[in-house]
Structure 1
């Protein structure tokens, strides 16, 4: 690369390829998010069930992705009164 390369316009093919790679990577991340939420839900449920008798439908896990941050929301409905599982 020489100093004169800075003054040449960029070719569109490499720029388009780079943009496509970024787009594909973004799609893979967002497509894998639902799988990640399902895995997290099952693992959280398994940990909770070691300590408390809780039905699987009482655990909800949601993930929201934002530009600056992502949030993971876990909603667990505990039975009243809480009964511990026998060890």
Structure 2
């Protein structure tokens, strides 16, 4: 019975590895379709916003989503809670 248990474990491990590989391949395929300009757009937006408000690099997120036949550019900016005091 020990040999059968060993072989069953291999099958479960192989199945888990196969599922993980599917996930990795799906992520790679989705990443290839993304435009090359998104990282540059994110950096430029960050530079412009920093002219007016002090924010971290993590505060600006740029993503491209699919909505039916259309591509939707999703831009999210997390602004700080601080408000400048008036003189």
Match of 2:77 in 1: 76
Would you say the 8 A contact 1:52–1:82 is kept in 2? no
- Matching of residues 9-28 of structure 1 within 5 Å: none
Provide the alpha-carbon RMSD of the alignment: 2.0
Deviating runs (4+, > 3 A) in structure 1?
A: none
- Of the three residues 30, 33, 42, the one matched with 1:30 is 33
CA–CA distance in structure 2, aligned partners of residues 46 and 77 of structure 1: 14
The count of corresponding residues between Structure 1 and Structure 2 is 53
TM-score (normalised: structure 2): 0.52
CA–CA distance in structure 1, aligned partners of residues 83 and 77 of structure 2: 12
Match of 1:41 in 2: 42
Distance 1:79 1:72, change over 3 A: same
TM-score (normalised: structure 1): 0.52
CA–CA distance in structure 2, aligned partners of residues 55 and 82 of structure 1: 16
How far residue 70 of structure 1 moved from its aligned partner, in angstroms, is 1.0
CA–CA distance in structure 2, aligned partners of residues 70 and 62 of structure 1: 10
How far residue 67 of structure 1 moved from its aligned partner, in angstroms, is 5.4
